[in-house]
Amino acid sequence: MPAKYDLVVIGAGPAGEKGAAQAAYFGKRVCLVDPQPRPGGIAVSTGGIPTKTVREGAIYLSGLGQSASAMTSANVRDPWPVLMSRKVEVSELMTKAVERNLVRHGIERVRGRARFLSPTRVQVEQPEAAPLVVEADIVLLASGSTPRHPPNVAMDDPDVHDAEDILEIERAPESILVVGSGAAGCEYASIFSALGARVTIVGGTHLLSALDVEMAGVLAECFNSMGIRVIPLTSVARVERASGLLEATLADGRTLQVQKILVAVGRRPQVDGMGLAEIGVEFDDAGWVRVDERYETTARGLFAAGDVIGPPSLAAVAMEQARVAVCHAFGFEFKHETDRFRPTYIFSIPEVAWVGLTEEQARAERIDYEVGRASFATNAKARISGFPDGLVKLVFRVPDKLLLGVHIVGEVASELIHIGQFVIQAGGTIDRFIDATFAVPTRSEAYKYAAYDGLMRLERHAAAKTAR
């Protein structure tokens, strides 16, 4: 007889953990199935937390953003072991936090690979035990995603890596080619550059394709100042071995020789061998699991959340999707929709974050808009920190100054973005920044000066309109 639960969750990453905890909080009996020996997913094991830990260490050891530092990479013979030790320490702490959360909520864990027998019945192939069948009224699929590998790059070469195994290398390379200009590509490119590597990024029309085009240019300038070479509008045609190095031939005929290659060309859903198509689960044109506004798949009783349903592939978004899915599944009067104005954030050096409309989107929607900008180069706190790169950009509607979008390139952008997010959520205008009192010196006061800049542009906008 199958083990019976109220909820079975497939995957122990951010979506799986929070979805399971949400149901358990309301008294449901929950089983969490995952093939890994410990929970947390790539967010705590290979991707999210480890990458950000290495990033912070790279900034510290390189002396970036420090007006004076006794401990820089020049003073450390080989900073890589120091960074890896810190990565393991933080990863272990966060993994234990996930384990404690599951135990606190009384969630049962089963280690093994899941295969669906029906939308609400799952067979688990356990590594050291007989197969187990678990059944529930509701199943939440939160199996995450895995790196996409292009066919023209030999991923079995020991010097070719993806975003999940790049931190397993023994030492930082002297040179590295990053294939892909998305989030992972930008994060790792800046990390290795901070550690002294010669870095080249190839691919995309510009850095971070969803980013406001002007801000993508700002980030590219920051990267150039760090010595990172950005080559857009081309791709890698083939990779060969040459004189002990990797030689990448680009589609435009140029060749690059490097010690390492990082392939970061996106991700795909981690659903191989689960039998989803056989139980009626449909996928969209990009290959992601299709869900409705309630996060239910096309197989009744089976819900899905997180990376498995596609971008933006952010842990914070995955958590909220799972919570909302579980609330809909059981009828909990708690959360009914995810945030319409959720921020996107990239932990590159410097950070990037945005929420709301880009200039390009406002133009496409035929909105009469204007922008306001404030550079961190004139911000006292940014100057004090020694990291004055980047700016704050506001996009707002001309007739009523309604804030439509906020875009930030600069250190702690992932923190600063929430100020703009809350104003957008409240339907506020750029006057909110004019009226507010910001502590001095802080990076957050850049909002006020961006708003002032917007008001000046608005006056010129009105003058130009009158002159027509």
Span 17-43, mean pLDDT? Answer: 95
pLDDT band at 276 (very low <50, low <70, confident <90, very high): very high
pLDDT of 89 over the 50 cut:
yes
Span 244-254, mean pLDDT? Answer: 95
Rounded Cα–Cα distance for residues 178 and 116 (Å): 37
Are 21 and 107 spatial neighbours (Cβ–Cβ below 8 Å)? yes
| pLDDT tens digits, one per residue of 331-382 | 999 999 999 999 999 999 999 999 999 999 999 999 999 999 999 999 999 9
Helices 413-425 and 446-467 meet at what angle, rounded to 10? 50
pLDDT of 71 over the 60 cut:
no
Q: What are phi and psi of 356, to 5 degrees?
A: 85, -155
Residue located via tokens 């900073």: 79
pLDDT of 45 over the 90 cut:
no
pLDDT of 66 over the 70 cut:
no
DSSP assigned state of 308: G
Output the pLDDT for position 128: 87
Output the pLDDT for position 68: 41
pTM: 0.92
Output the pLDDT for position 465: 74
pLDDT band at 76 (very low <50, low <70, confident <90, very high): low
Output the pLDDT for position 64: 73
Rounded Cα–Cα distance for residues 444 and 426 (Å): 19
pLDDT band at 70 (very low <50, low <70, confident <90, very high): very low
Are 332 and 326 spatial neighbours (Cβ–Cβ below 8 Å)? yes
Output the pLDDT for position 461: 77
Map out the domains of the chain with their CATH numbers.
3-147+268-330 (3.50.50.60), 160-265 (3.50.50.60), 350-462 (3.30.390.30)
- Cα angle 196-226-347, degrees, rounded to a multiple of 5: 90
Please give the share of the chain, as a percent, with pLDDT higher than 70: 97
Pick from 186, 235, 234, 184: which is nearest to 207 by CA? 186
Output the pLDDT for position 75: 53
pLDDT of 104 over the 70 cut:
yes
Q: Which of 50-64, 78-92, 267-281, 408-422 has the lowest mean pLDDT?
A: 50-64
> Residue 435 has which token pair?
């009226």
Residue located via tokens 């799986």: 16
Are 309 and 291 spatial neighbours (Cβ–Cβ below 8 Å)? yes
| Average per-residue pLDDT for the chain | 94
